[in-house]
Amino acid sequence: MRKLAAGNWKMNGTRAGLDMVTALLAAQPNPGCDMLLCPPATLISAMTAAARGSRLMVGAQDCHAKPSGAHTGDLAAPMLADAGATHVILGHSERRADHGETDDQVCAKAEAALAAGLVAIVCLGETEDQRDVGQTLDVIAAQLDGSVPAGATAANLVIACEPVWAIGTGRTPTLAQIAEVHGFLRARLATLVGVAAAETRLLYGGSVKPGNAAEIFALPHVDGALVGGASLKAEDFAPIVAALSAA
Ligand code: PGA
């Protein structure tokens, strides 16, 4: 399978920040993995234009479950596709925390994404309290079972496993902990999508940096990363793409 280096810009970036795309493409014109950036929705069109003719794909960070309607301030999956997005991140822990998104809602959004022809990047992850009391595998199993829609395949679904306590903190699980979770997810996914599980990309997310990328990418069942802070600058993201290309 082709691995995926995905960047999540979160609520960061204006058109001035698109210089980063030029620098990234200069550093990684032909990476040995798929390369995706998910800027704020305001930048999807402009980033798509900046990436035209290159290997860089552009994605969104959320979508509504309905294709259109009276939902002020929301964005529908077909609109994101129309703007140039090929992927959409769904159920990120910041949306689950800030907006109270439930597994059912994430599942409905993922269905909408698939219907619009987008690849759904469904995010899962335990909190530090849940890890401390030994609930990690139960929590991510419930999130996986509840968030993956019918009709998901290896081509239209990506799973990103991001321990909440590792996001933006500079802390990461041990390599053994990542390996345990990803091995568990691969097996669990088989109960949802059958043989497609072997080909479905499982990303690790949470404080991935140039300095720790190679050791994480060497683990079995880690098929790439969802990168937050280190995706904002080409000097950080390009070496992560290079490490994944070499893995
Ligand atoms: P981080 O964020 O790389 O800044 O920890 C990861 C994410 O939230 O996807």
- Measured CA distances, 173 to 7, 162, 176, 207, 212 (Å): 20, 10, 8, 10, 11
pLDDT tens digits, one per residue of 150-180: 999 999 999 999 999 999 999 999 999 999 9
For residue 69, the CA-to-ligand 1 centroid distance in Å is: 31
d(CA 209, CA 59): 21
For residue 226, the CA-to-ligand 1 centroid distance in Å is: 7
Nearest of 68, 64, 6 to residue 39 by alpha carbon: 6
Nearest of 67, 5, 64 to residue 37 by alpha carbon: 5
pLDDT, residue 23, reads 98
Q: What's the whole-number mean pLDDT along residues 30-34?
A: 97
Band the pLDDT of 107: cuts 50, 70, 90. very high
Q: DSSP strand E in the chain: where?
A: 4-8, 34-38, 56-60, 87-90, 119-124, 157-161, 201-205, 224-227
Instruction: Assess whether pLDDT exceeds 90 at residue 83.
Output: yes
pLDDT tens digits, one per residue of 184-222: 999 999 999 888 999 999 999 999 999 999 999 999 999
User: Do the Cβ atoms of 127 and 164 come closer than 8 Å?
Assistant: yes
Active-site hit among 64, 92, 182, 221: 92
The CATH homologous superfamily for domain 4-69+80-246 is: Aldolase class I (3.20.20.70)
Q: Which atom of ligand 1 is nearest to the CA of 94?
A: 8
- Residue 29 in tokens: 């014109």
Instruction: Look up 162 and say whether it is catalytic.
Output: yes
d(CA 241, CA 7): 10
Q: What's the whole-number mean pLDDT along residues 124-131?
A: 97
pTM of the model: 0.97
Q: Determine if ligand 1 sits within 6 Å of the CB of residue 205.
A: yes
Active-site hit among 94, 101, 126, 162: 162
Band the pLDDT of 6: cuts 50, 70, 90. very high
The two counts, helices (H) then strands (E), for the chain are: 10, 8
User: Do the Cβ atoms of 63 and 35 come closer than 8 Å?
Assistant: no
pLDDT tens digits, one per residue of 38-50: 999 999 999 999 9
- Residue 82 in tokens: 């129309």
For residue 138, the CA-to-ligand 1 centroid distance in Å is: 22
Nearest CA to ligand 1 atom 1: 228
Mean pLDDT, the chain, whole residue set: 97
Band the pLDDT of 60: cuts 50, 70, 90. very high
User: Do the Cβ atoms of 177 and 134 come closer than 8 Å?
Assistant: no
- Measured CA distances, 93 to 45, 150, 205, 214 (Å): 25, 22, 11, 24
pLDDT, residue 195, reads 87
Place of tokens 């910041």: 94
Q: Determine if ligand 1 sits within 6 Å of the CB of residue 206.
A: yes
Band the pLDDT of 120: cuts 50, 70, 90. very high
Q: Determine if ligand 1 sits within 6 Å of the CB of residue 203.
A: no
Scored b (16 or more CB within 10 A) or e, 76-102 reads bbbbbbebbbbbbbbbbbbbbeeeebe
Instruction: Assess whether pLDDT exceeds 90 at residue 37.
Output: yes
